[in-house]
Amino acid sequence: MSTKEEFIFRRAEIADIKAVREMIQELADFERYSNGPELSEEDLIRDAGLTGQQELCHIYVLIDNATQQAIGYAICFNSYSTWQGRAYFLEDLYVRPAHRKRGAGARIFREVAAIAFKLNCKRLEFHVLCWNPAREFYERLGASNLTAIEDAWQYYRVDQQQLAKLAGELA
């Protein structure tokens, strides 16, 4: 287990984005979606509002105090529930393999939960691949697996090609 002083958790800065983009690829490789990430460093800088644009996501990094290197990250965004109101969505949480089992992942998750709580969010939501052993990690930290509940929610996605088709049907 780590001490709080072992790591620094903070909002990402422009100088962190190269490492964040590398870790996004590492996570995609682990998830068996190596060709998935299409975002560039510039996209992340823009979407996180780091140069004055509208902030679409919040990027956080966990810095190892000993090396001053980013060893993990989280990307989140504001969400909304018509049943409960404000929610916070955790898109990614990743810790580099060499730094696992030191409390880094739990530190990131607790920090994100604290941010959601300070924002007066009613819940923190995220997805985990069904085969990912991190499911146990999240459950130990108090997350509920909604897909394990009878009549639970199903997750859908409309990709960009289908978005274009649907939008074209309005013309």
pLDDT mean for each 10 residues of the chain (171 residues): 79 98 97 94 98 97 96 98 96 97 96 97 95 94 88 82 90 71
Given this model, what pLDDT does residue 164 score? 92
Number of domains the chain contains: 1
List 33, 60, 138, 156, catalytic entry: 138
The residues, any chain, with a CB within 8 Å of residue 128's CB and separated by 6 or more, are 134, 135, 138
pTM across the whole model: 0.91
For 42, the domain range is 4-168
Distance CA 160, CA 164 (A): 6
Is 156 tagged catalytic? no
| Residue 118 parent element (H or E) | helix 104-118
Residue 90: give its domain's CATH number: 3.40.630.30
Given this model, what pLDDT does residue 4 score? 67
The residues, any chain, with a CB within 8 Å of residue 108's CB and separated by 6 or more, are 9, 60, 62, 72, 73, 74, 93, 95
